[in-house]
C-alpha cells in the first residue's frame, strides 16, 4: 500500500499542475527607450544589427488546484524591454527601405504621425486620385510593419494584450519628439499641429 501511495501521490500532483500566465508590464520610460532604439535603428538603416537587451521573466509557474488555471498575475519589470525577434528585424528592414518615401510625404505635409504611433494621410493634402492611392499604399504598408513591431514587443515580453495601447503610445511620443519642423503630429488630445 505504501508503494502505491508513494507513486500515486506525485502523479496526481503532476496532473494537477498547470502553467500560470504571468503578464509583464513596463514603466512608460522603458517602452519609450525601446521605441527610441527601434526608430534610431530604422533611421540609421542598422536594422540588421540585433540590440543587446537583458532577459525577461519567463512567466512559468506551477499551480496545484484541480488542474485549472487560477489566475494570470501581472508583474512590473525593471528590466529592459526586449526588442529583438525575426519578425521585428524584418519589419524594421522594410521600414528602412521605405524611409525616404515616407519622409517625402511627411515633408510635403501630406502624411502625419498620429497619436497611435501610426501614419495618417491628412485631410488637406492636395493630391490627385492617383497620388492619393500611392500615398495610401505607402501608409498601409508602413502601418502594417509598425503594428507587427508593436504586437511582437507585446508578445516577446509576455505583456498583457491591452499593453499594445501603451506600446503604441510610447512610439507615438517618440515619433512626436523626433519629428522635424514642418511635420504634422497629432497630440494625445487628438489635435493636429505642425511641429515648430
C-alpha cell at 171: 512610439
pLDDT at 44: 86
- pLDDT over threshold 80, residue 84: yes
pLDDT at 58: 33
Query: For the chain, what is the mean pLDDT?
Result: 82
pLDDT at 23: 84
pLDDT at 22: 75
Got the DSSP string for the chain? -HHHHHHHHHHHHHHH--BPPEEEE--HHHHHHHHHHHHHHHHTT-TTSPPP---------B--STT-----EEEE--SPPP---HHHHHHHHHHHHTHHHHHHHHHTTSEEE-TTS-EEE-S-----HHHHHHHHHHHHHHHHHHHHHHHHHHHHTT--GGGHHHHHHHHHHHHHHHPPTT-EEE-TTS-EEE--
- pLDDT over threshold 90, residue 64: no
Q: Which residue has the higher pLDDT, 147 or 14?
A: 147
Q: What is the pTM of this model?
A: 0.75
Q: Which residue has the higher pLDDT, 23 or 17?
A: 23
Of the candidate ranges 76-85, 88-97, 118-127, 150-159, the one whose mean pLDDT is the lowest: 76-85
pLDDT in tens, 85-119: 999 999 999 999 999 999 999 999 999 999 999 99
* Distance of alpha carbon 19 from alpha carbon 144, whole angstroms: 32
Average pLDDT of the segment spanning 116-138: 94
Amino acid at each position: 500500500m505504501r508503494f502505491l501511495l508513494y507513486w500515486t501521490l506525485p502523479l496526481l500532483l503532476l496532473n494537477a499542475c498547470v502553467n500560470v500566465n504571468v503578464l509583464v508590464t513596463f514603466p512608460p520610460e522603458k517602452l519609450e527607450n525601446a521605441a527610441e532604439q527601434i526608430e534610431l535603428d530604422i533611421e540609421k538603416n542598422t536594422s540588421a544589427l540585433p540590440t543587446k537587451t537583458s532577459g525577461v521573466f519567463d512567466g512559468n509557474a506551477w499551480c496545484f488546484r484541480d488542474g485549472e488555471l487560477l489566475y494570470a498575475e501581472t508583474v512590473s519589470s525593471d528590466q529592459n524591454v526586449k526588442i529583438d525577434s525575426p519578425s521585428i528585424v524584418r519589419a524594421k528592414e522594410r521600414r528602412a527601405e521605405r524611409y525616404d518615401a515616407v519622409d517625402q510625404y511627411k515633408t510635403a505635409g501630406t502624411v502625419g504621425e498620429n497619436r497611435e504611433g501610426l501614419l495618417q494621410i491628412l485631410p488637406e493634402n492636395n493630391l490627385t486620385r492617383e497620388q492619393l492611392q500611392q500615398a495610401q499604399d505607402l501608409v498601409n504598408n508602413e502601418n502594417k510593419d509598425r503594428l507587427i513591431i508593436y504586437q511582437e514587443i507585446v508578445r516577446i515580453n509576455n505583456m498583457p494584450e491591452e499593453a499594445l495601447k501603451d506600446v503604441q503610445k510610447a512610439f507615438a511620443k517618440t515619433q512626436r519628439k523626433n519629428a522635424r519642423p514642418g511635420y504634422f503630429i497629432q497630440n494625445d488630445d487628438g489635435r493636429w499641429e505642425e511641429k515648430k
